[in-house]
Amino acid sequence: MAQEVRRLDAERIGSAAGSEATTTADGVVRIGWPRDDVKVTVDGLHLKPFAGLGSWAAFMPTEHGAMVMGDTVVFQDEVSPAMDAAFANGLEVSALHNHFFFDEPKVYFMHIGGQGDPEVLARGVKAVWDAIKQVRSERGTPADTFPGEAPRHGTIDATKVERIIGHEGQAQDGMVKISIGREASMHGETFGGSMGLTTWAAFSGTDERAAIDGDFAMTAHEVQPVLRALREADIHVVALHNHMVGEDPAYYFTHFWAKGKADDLARGFKAALDAQAAASQNARQHRGTDAP
């Protein structure tokens, strides 16, 4: 008996996404949104959407519905609203990075994915794009700073930050930095934090008005829980990418930034650490191993 050919209904997906949908020869349904609402120059050239400024999502039929993958053009003030919308609608964020140098305004690309009912996935993509459109309707020109006053250099209470996070840190010039090493192998050698495989957070400013920046080193099953925890703590995710090729297990790195009271920022970072630990524990229990 011939295997049933799975097909997706492009019209229903397009209707759910609020966008015209087309079907490719191999049965993938695609939708797109050219970002022509903001003029972008790259190295002095006015770049048109066709040359790489188009958001898109592609839906492939699967045994239990569909799989979606997509790339979303975002300006800096659109990233957090777009990411929040993705998470609220059951989508995953798999990368956040740049494609250009010398672009004005700065352009980033947020890759999304998910599995499930194709119309539900399409509505999720629509929610992400609608969140971006809402930002631009409120401010036509992309912002060049996050809301809130910038901290001034001062002194952070290292003891309090260390107590909240549960790890000892280093202090320098009034700043505090917490580093937590991970472990992997590559080229037949085991390596760890001293080679750069670390999760870390640095606190600058004062206890009342501080900034946090840092990096999470995550295995695949930890990525979504960490991103969600950071956003729930109102910490901005500013990059998601890899640092190495060929390590085992594979690690992904998310960089982050936020402003606020040092205590609140430390609690947000700790919440993401806890989410990471829970995800790692769940993976070990599922596999019955001591996987990192």
Structural domain spans, the chain: 10-138, 158-287
- What is the band of 2 on the pLDDT scale with cuts at 50, 70, 90? very low
Task: Residue 290: count other Cβ atoms within 10 Å of its Cβ.
Answer: 6
Q: Which residues pair with 69 in a beta bridge?
A: 58, 113
Q: What is the distance between the alpha carbons of residues 68 and 62, in angstroms, rounded to a whole number?
A: 10
214-242 confidence digits (pLDDT tens): 999 999 999 999 999 999 999 999 999 99
Give the whole-number percent of the chain exceeding pLDDT 70: 97
Residue 1 reports pLDDT greater than 50: no
pLDDT of residue 27: 96
25-72 confidence digits (pLDDT tens): 999 999 999 999 999 999 999 999 999 999 999 999 999 999 999 999
Q: What is the distance between the alpha carbons of residues 124 and 89, in angstroms, rounded to a whole number?
A: 5
Residue with tokens 């609690």: 267
Burial of 74 by CB count in 10 Å (0-12 exposed, 13-18 middle, 19+ buried)? buried
Architecture of domain 158-287: 2-Layer Sandwich (3.30)
Instruction: Return the CATH class of domain 10-138.
Output: alpha beta
Segment 136-147 mean pLDDT: 97
